[in-house]
Amino acid sequence: MLNRPKGMSEYPPNEPQLSWRASMSWWRGFACLFLVAAGQVPLHAGEVLASAHTNAMLRLGFSTSVFSGVNENDAKAAMKVWAQAILKEHGLSVPADPQVLNAEAIATALQNKLIDAVALSSAEYRVIGAEFMSTNVILGATGGRVTEEYLLLVHRDSNIGRIEDLRGRSVIFFQNPRASLAPVWFESLLLQSGLGPTLRFCGRVIQGGKLSQVVLPVFFHQADACVVTRRGFQTMIELNPQVGRQLEILLSSPAMVPFAFLFRSDYSDPVRDQIMAEIKDVHSTVAGQQALALFQCESLEVHPISVLDSALELLATHARLSEAANHAAEPTHTSIPLANGETDRP
C-alpha cells in the first residue's frame, strides 16, 4: 500500500522544497566522472602533458546553477579535495581554487583563458554562444540515451484532458539539474496556445526536489498536475505500480539535453584529446564505476554539439514567445521562477 507522505498537503511560500544534498550528489558525481576521466590519461614521465617548468593543469569551471541550494564555499572545498585525490596523483596540477561562476563570468573566463573546460546548462550555453566552446560535448548516458524527456502528469480521475483545463490549478515541477528545461517547455506550451505565462495561468506553482514530493501529491489529489522526467516517472512506477495505474501522461516533450561538459574552443593541450579518447572507458576502473554509480548513469559519451539542437530550439522559441507575452502582461509574470518553494498567482 502506498503511504501518504507527511506534510505534503501544504507548501509554505518560504519553505524550500529542494533536497540540496541529492542535487549536490548528482552534480558531484558528474564532476567526479570528469576528474576520473582526466586521471585515466596516461602520463609517461611527463613527456606528453608536462611543460618544461610545470605539470599540466586542467582548470575546470562549474556554473553556479550546478551548486544551486548549496553553500558555494563548501562546494569549492569539496571540489578541491576530489581534484587532489584524482588528478594530482596522475601528475596534473590542481588549481588553488575551483571556479564556480555565473553565465557572464563563464564567458569572461573562457575568453580570457582562465578555465579549460566547463559544466553548464543548455540555457547558459545559448547565452554564452558557441564562439568560446568546443564542437564536442561530454554527456552521461543511461540506457543508451543522453537526453531527457519531460512529462505532464495528471490523475486519471481529475477530468483534466488538455492543458487548457489547468487554468487556476496547481502544478508541481521537479527541481533537479536534469529537469532544468521542464519549466521552459511547459510555459512554451501555454504561450503557444495563447494561455499566457505560467504564473498568470496556474493557481499555484510548486517545486519539489524529490520525486515523491512531486508525484505523490497528484496521486493523492493534493495537486492537480506535475512535470517530471520520464525516467523519474518510471522510477516511481517501479517503486509502486499504483502510480502508473492512477496517473496518466497528458503531454510529453521532445528529447533534449539539459546540460553538458565542454572544453574551451582554443584549448589545445594534449590532455584534451586524451580525455576525449579515454572517456568511453571510464567504467573500466573502480573509481570510474563508483562515480558512475553516484551519477546514476552507465557511461560517458562524446557527442557533436548538434546534440544540443532540440534544447536550443526550445529556448529560442520560449524567448520569442515570452517577448511577445511581455506586451500583454507585467514583466514579473512572464516566466516561472527558478527559486525553491511555492509561488502564488497574484
Percent helix / strand / coil, the chain, rounded to 5:
45, 20, 35
pLDDT for 185 equals 98
Nearest to 4 by CA among 220, 223, 241, 156: 220
Residue 340 is placed in which grid cell? 525553491
- Give the model's pLDDT for residue 75: 59
Q: Show pLDDT as tens, one digit a residue, over the chain (346 residues).
A: 555 554 333 333 333 333 334 444 444 545 555 554 554 443 332 333 333 334 466 788 888 776 654 566 665 665 565 555 555 545 555 555 667 888 889 999 999 998 988 888 999 999 888 888 888 998 888 888 999 999 999 999 999 999 999 999 999 999 888 899 999 999 999 999 999 999 999 999 999 989 999 999 999 999 999 999 999 999 999 999 999 999 999 999 999 999 888 999 988 877 787 777 777 777 776 666 666 665 567 788 899 999 999 999 999 999 999 998 887 655 454 445 443 444 444 4
217-243: string of b/e by CB count within 10 Å (b at 16+)?
bbbeebbbbbbbbbbbbeebeeebeeb
The dihedrals phi and psi of 57, each to the nearest 5 degrees, come to: -130, 130
Three-class DSSP category at 254: coil
Longest Cα separation, the chain? 71
C-alpha cell at 200: 498568470
The one-letter code for the residue type at 197 is P
Distances (CA, A) of 184 to 142, 149, 230, 334: 23, 13, 16, 11
The predicted pLDDT at position 12 comes to: 32
DSSP 57-106: B--EEEEGGGGTTS-HHHHHHHHHHHHHHHTGGGT-B--SS-EEE-HHHH
Domains and CATH numbers, the chain: 20-145+257-311 (3.40.190.10), 150-254 (3.40.190.10)
CB neighbours of residue 335 within 10 Å: 19
Q: Of 55, 72, 133, nearest to 80 (Cα)?
A: 72
Which residues partner with 75 through β-bridges? none
Please check whether residue 230 is in contact with residue 149, taking contact to mean a CB–CB distance below 8 angstroms: yes
Q: Residue 9's closest CA among 227, 222, 159?
A: 222
Contact predicate 126/87, CB 8 Å? no
Please report the pLDDT score of residue 219 as a whole number. 97
- Cα 146 to Cα 259: distance, rounded to the nearest angstrom: 10
| pLDDT for 6 | 44
What confidence score (pLDDT) does residue 139 get?
Answer: 87
CA distance 142 to 33: 14
Q: 193: alpha, beta or left, given left = phi > 0 and alpha = psi -120 to 50?
A: alpha
Residues 6+ apart with CB under 8 A from 209: 17, 18, 19, 20, 22, 23, 69, 174, 175, 176, 340
How many Å is the Cα radius of gyration of the chain?
A: 21
